[in-house]
Amino acid sequence: MLKPQTNFAFIDGQNLYRGMQRAGWALDYRRFRVYLREKYGVEQAYMFMGYLPENQGLYQSLQKAGYVLVFKEVVHTSGHKVKGNVDAELVLQAMIDYPSYAQAVLVTSDGDFACLVRYLRDHGKLRVVLSPERDNCSILLKKAAREFLRPLSDLRTRLEYKK
């Protein structure tokens, strides 16, 4: 009997959250995790995000839903904005785990990941790039992902959070 493929997801948490906000709907993270497992065979789903102590409840619910959280220390800018860019951590984790997964699922609209997407695609290790934003997805990411790019907006009826 053939062993099923083990795929990993690498999720840019801030990009996903902001993209859903701009799209005007809230993602049900629990249902999204089930979707990743059922549709793409994702066994390990990393969620990369900035760490804020006041978000403990959110972190616990994400972990309970099956995500592995990877935190980045945040900095506060002069305008009191919080910045926690996780790009380097996500790329590093994708390469550390490279031998452990058959294919990668990347969740972002950020063009900074175009080089990772190209590398994974060229080596047969890219399953899909799920973009939180159809209209605001980086042209660099679109060019790198090509036919592997799927907008999350197509899944709104299935994955929208309902109170």
Does residue 126 fall inside a structural domain?
A: no
Residue by residue, DSSP assigns the chain as: -PPPP-EEEEEEHHHHHHHHHHHT--B-HHHHHHHHHHHH-EEEEEEEEEE-GGGHHHHHHHHHTTEEEEEEE-EE-TTS-EE---HHHHHHHHHHSGGG-SEEEEE---GGGHHHHHHHHHTT-EEEEEES-SSSS-HHHHHHHGGGEEEGGGGHHHHB---
Is the pLDDT reported for residue 47 higher than 90?
A: yes
Res 104: pLDDT: 98
Does residue 140 fall inside a structural domain?
A: no
How many domains would you assign to the chain? 1
What mean pLDDT do residues 44-73 have? 95
Please answer whether residues 137 and 109 qualify as being in contact, where contact means their C-beta atoms are separated by less than 8 angstroms.
yes
Does residue 112 fall inside a structural domain?
A: no
Q: What percent of the chain has pLDDT over 90?
A: 83
Q: Which of 1-5, 79-83, 116-120, 135-139 has the lowest mean pLDDT?
A: 1-5
Does residue 104 fall inside a structural domain?
A: no
Does residue 26 fall inside a structural domain?
A: yes
Question: pLDDT tens digit string along 74-128?
Answer: 877 777 676 668 899 999 999 999 999 999 999 999 999 999 999 999 999 999 9
Res 79: pLDDT: 72
Does residue 65 fall inside a structural domain?
A: yes
What mean pLDDT do residues 141-156 have? 95
Q: How far is CA 37 from CA 41, 80, 128, 142, in A?
A: 5, 38, 13, 24
Does residue 121 fall inside a structural domain?
A: no
Is the pLDDT reported for residue 160 higher than 70?
A: yes
Domain that holds residue 60: 7-95
Does residue 83 fall inside a structural domain?
A: yes
Return the closest-CA partner of residue 109 out of 9, 8, 18, 7.
Answer: 18
Is the pLDDT reported for residue 6 higher than 90?
A: yes
